[in-house]
Amino acid sequence: MTSFNFFENIVFNHEIAYFIAQIIFSIFTINLFLKVIQRYYPITKFDMFALTILYFLNPVKQFIVFNASNGILTFSMLIITIYFLDTFYAKKNIYLISLFIGILFLMNRSFIVSVVVFIIFRLFKNRRNISYYFEAIFAFVVFWIPIYIYRYWIKLNGYNIDDTGVVDYGHFIWVSKYFNKGIGFWMSKGLLSEENFNLRLFKDWNSQDEWYCQNIPDNFICYFNDLLNVSIYLFLPVLIIIFYLIFSHKINNNLLKMMILTGFMTMFFWSFIGWYPPLRLGLYSYGNIIFLFVLVIYSKMNSFKIKITFLASLILGLLNISHWNNSNLVEITNLDLASFLMLALNFYLVIKESKKQ
C-alpha cells in the first residue's frame, strides 16, 4: 500500500481547512466590495473577474492561503468597515451593528477599528446633535457585550483564557502601563480581563529585542520604519497609486473620505501592537490599504486598453513577488521587466487620454 507521508508531513487536513476558510472569507469580501463600488462606478463581468485577480495578488492573500494567521481577515475588515459606513451610517441607531462588529472582533481584534470608525463617521455627520454623542457611548458599550459573554462562557466551562499575543508578546496590553492613575486606571480595569489587568503590573516583555517597541513614541517610529519597508516591497502598486492620483480622475469624494478615515485608523491601531516583525504587520495594515486603492483605481477606469495594461503589469510584477521573510525585499527578474514595459504603456495611455479631456 502506498504511504502518503507527504500529506502527513504538511498536516493535509488542516491545510485544506485553512484554504476553504480563505475562499469563503474571500468570496464574502469581494462581494461586499462589489456592492460598495457599484454605487460609484459601472462594473462589468470582466471587471469582476479582474478585481478578483487583483484581490488575490495581495501578498497577504498569496502567502497565507494555507495557513492560520492574524492576517486572514485584515483586508476583510477594511471592506466591511467601508460597507457599513456606506450603507448604515444614516440609520436611526447603530446598536445592532455594534453588536455584530463585537462578534467579528472575536474572529480578529482589528475589528475594533470598524466600530470606532463607524462611530466617528456618524458623529461627524451629526456633530451638532447631542443625542448622537450619548448613542456613541452606548454603542461602544454594546460592542463589548459579545466579548464578555464569550469570556464568561469559557470560564463557566472551567477553562482559562489564554491569549498568546498578549501573554507572550505584550500585544497592545503594554499601553496600559501609561494608565496607572485616575480614570485611565479604572478604564483599564473595566476593559481588561482580570488576568490581563494583573499581567500588566508584573510582566516585563523584552523591550531590548529588535522587534519590540513598547514605549511611546518608539512604537510609532518602529511602525513607520516598517511602513517604509512595505513601500519598497510593494513599490509597483505604490508607484501606480501615486501616478493615478496625480494624472487620472480623482476618486469619488465620499468614497475617498471613507477610505482615508478607515485607513488612518487601521494604521493607528496597528502602531500600538508593540511588536514589529519585519513587514508582516505593515502588510496587514498599510499593505492592505495599498491594495484597496488599487482595486478602487481599477474600478474607475473607462478604457479597456488601460484596464488590460494595468492588470497585466500587476500580474507580471506581483505573481513573482518574494515572500516577506526573504532577506532581499526586491528581486528584479524578466517578469518584472515585462511588468515595467506594460506599466509604461499603461501610463502612456492614461496621459494620452487625459490630454483629450
3-class secondary-structure state, position 165: helix
Asked if residue 174 is part of any domain, the answer here is: no
Tens-digit pLDDT profile for residues 11-50: 566 667 777 878 888 899 999 999 999 999 999 999 999 9
d(CA 217, CA 227): 16
Instruction: Tell me 181's DSSP state.
Output: S
Asked if residue 51 is part of any domain, the answer here is: yes
Asked if residue 154 is part of any domain, the answer here is: no
3-class secondary-structure state, position 212: strand
Q: According to the model, what pLDDT value does residue 344 have? A: 94
Range from 70-79, 124-133, 283-292 carrying the lowest mean pLDDT: 124-133
In Å, what is the CA distance from 20 to each residue of 5, 27, 108, 159? 22, 11, 18, 29
Range from 169-173, 257-261, 293-297 carrying the lowest mean pLDDT: 169-173
DSSP string, 298-325: HHT---HHHHHHHHHHHHHHHTTPPPTT
Our measurement of the distance from residue 72's CA atom to the centroid of its chain's CA atoms, rounded to an integer in Å, reads 9
Residue whose grid cell is 454623542: 133
- Among 19, 45, 69, residue at a domain's last position: 69
Q: Which domain, by its residues, includes 17? A: 11-69
d(CA 174, CA 191): 14
Our measurement of the distance from residue 304's CA atom to the centroid of its chain's CA atoms, rounded to an integer in Å, reads 29
Q: According to the model, what pLDDT value does residue 184 have? A: 66
Q: According to the model, what pLDDT value does residue 346 have? A: 92
- Among 69, 93, 109, residue at a domain's last position: 69
Average pLDDT over residues 198-206: 66
Q: According to the model, what pLDDT value does residue 4 have? A: 46
Residue 3's pLDDT band (cuts 50, 70, 90): very low
Average pLDDT over residues 151-169: 76
Residue 200's pLDDT band (cuts 50, 70, 90): low
Q: According to the model, what pLDDT value does residue 230 have? A: 93
- Of 142 and 122, the structure prediction assigns the larger pLDDT to 142
Asked if residue 239 is part of any domain, the answer here is: yes
Asked if residue 243 is part of any domain, the answer here is: yes
| Amino acid present at 158 | G
Average pLDDT over residues 307-324: 91
Average pLDDT over residues 208-219: 82
- Asked if the model's pLDDT at residue 1 lies above 50, the reply is no
Rg (CA), the chain: 22
Listed in sequence order, the residues at least 6 apart from 246 whose beta carbon sits closer than 8 Å to its beta carbon are: none
Q: Number of structural domains, the chain?
A: 2
Asked if residue 139 is part of any domain, the answer here is: no
Asked if residue 181 is part of any domain, the answer here is: no
Asked if residue 162 is part of any domain, the answer here is: no
d(CA 284, CA 59): 10
- Among 22, 50, 69, residue at a domain's last position: 69
Tens-digit pLDDT profile for residues 224-278: 999 999 999 999 999 999 999 888 778 888 899 999 999 999 999 999 988 888 8
Helices (H), the chain: 5-9, 12-37, 45-57, 59-63, 74-88, 95-105, 112-125, 131-156, 164-169, 182-191, 194-202, 218-233, 235-247, 253-270, 280-282, 288-299, 304-318, 334-356
Q: According to the model, what pLDDT value does residue 164 have? A: 73
Asked if 313 and 243 count as a contact pair (C-beta separation under 8 A), the reply is: no
